[in-house]
Amino acid sequence: QVQLVESGGGLLQAGDSLRLSCAASGRTFRNYVMGWFRQAPGKEREPVAAISRNALTTYYSDSVKGRFTISRDNAKNTVSLQMNSLKPEDTAVYYCAATTKIANLNTQEYDDWGQGTQVTVSS
């Protein structure tokens, strides 16, 4: 099991940028595929982005492709999500998650989750 703590959420305006970070501890970070997910009020949790163990492969949902960038630093045990050109529909609680399975955007495949960080984008 790996423990995950997100940080960096906030209140922003449409068009702003924000960087979320997730710090991992407990197990060997580089053994985990990492993902970012989000959940808006009244909606199901949805995938945002994922990154392979060696950071060579990334995956994005269509709604954020071209605006968000996921990255990781295996030396620092962190994964980040750079969010640009934010829209009101990006408003959600953002979660960092880890899996030992193959890299993917399937929420059900992720075993360990952080507590989430709120991102609110006003128009």
User: What's the pLDDT band for 29 if we cut at 50, 70, 90?
Assistant: very high
The structure tokens listed for 29 are 């970070």
Residues 6+ away with beta carbon under 8 Å from 53: 30, 31, 32, 33, 103
User: What's the pLDDT band for 27 if we cut at 50, 70, 90?
Assistant: confident
Residue 26 in this model has a pLDDT that exceeds 90: no
Query: What is the predicted pLDDT for the residue at 119?
Result: 98
Tens of pLDDT, residues 55-109: 999 999 999 999 999 999 999 999 999 999 999 999 999 999 999 999 899 999 9
In angstroms, the Cα distances linking 4 to 7, 85, 89, 98, 115 are 10, 26, 25, 8, 8
Residue 1 in this model has a pLDDT that exceeds 90: no
